[in-house]
Amino acid sequence: KQIKSIALGAIPFIAILILWFISIYFKWMPEWFLPSPIKVFKTFVDLLLDGTIFKITVDSVLNLIPPFLLAMIFSLVFGVLIGTSSLMRRIFFPFIATLYPIPSIVWLPFIIILFGFTKEAVWILLFVSSFLKMVYNMISGVRNVNPIWVMVAKNLGLNKVQIVFKVIIPGALPEIITAMRIGFGSIWRSAVAAEMLVSGAGGLGRFIWNAQWAFSFEKIFVGVLLIAIIGLSIEILLFKKIEVLTLEKWGIIEKD
């Protein structure tokens, strides 16, 4: 069953690869603009062997970690506070809901004016990007916790802090994990865009930006491929495992 699922999921990728080869064979586009898959693969191997891929990948990941961890902590705290307090919700939720749909990259010019073309500017942008996405969804998750569970906990004599940690957070776990995924997707996209514009940030975005100005389109394809591989790897190796282990721990799903 798993092999069949993987095979079905591979169909679109195989179709695109075949179409890519056909396009190269019939020269539908100039090769300098659309390099062959073989040339892209060779460039990937060369960049892997000379250490470039390792360096730009590490730079991008290091740009992500500090703002994402901070955003995750703050969004959980504010998500619980706003989700459980009607007063806090009336004060802050309209503000968060207003900022939520605004693309985070629009704040970059203001941040650059204040902090310059620095890593700190990128971190602030990424924090804002992931915080707004995560806190919005965490508020929803907290509010969706079954109120009967809270009433039972109160009747059993649990105080507010115990209710938060033993009832509300476990009850909202599926939405919290979903919020983390959404936050990571947002911060990953914003990181690549910010790296393109902030020269001091380095990373995959700056690599693609430099390749564009050098008309090295095979390197651009390598950069895009790396963005997809890293994003998919983090989803499978990190978030999927966190989801399974956490939900098993709290008894939301059964162990295999």
pLDDT above 70: percentage of residues in the chain: 95
Supply the DSSP string of 37-62, one letter for each residue. HHHHHHHHHHHHHTTHHHHHHHHHHH
As a whole number of angstroms, the distance between CA 241 and CA 61 comes to 19
User: 216's torsion region: left (phi>0), alpha (psi -120 to 50) or beta?
Assistant: beta
pLDDT truncated to tens, each residue of the chain (256 aa)?
Answer: 667 777 888 888 899 999 988 988 888 888 888 898 999 999 999 999 999 999 999 999 888 889 999 999 999 999 999 998 989 999 999 999 999 888 888 888 888 888 888 888 889 999 998 999 999 999 998 998 888 988 998 888 888 888 988 889 888 888 888 888 888 888 888 888 888 888 777 889 999 999 988 888 999 999 999 998 888 888 877 777 777 777 666 565 555 5
Residue 209: count other Cβ atoms within 10 Å of its Cβ: 20
The model's pLDDT over 145-171, given as tens digits with 9 standing for 90+, comes to 888 988 998 888 888 888 988 889 888
Give the single-character DSSP code of 252: S
Task: Return the CATH fold of 36-249.
Answer: MetI-like fold (1.10.3720)
Give me the residue spans of the domains in the chain: 1-34, 36-249
Residue 150 DSSP SS3? helix
The model's pLDDT over 174-205, given as tens digits with 9 standing for 90+, comes to 888 888 888 888 888 888 888 888 877 788 99
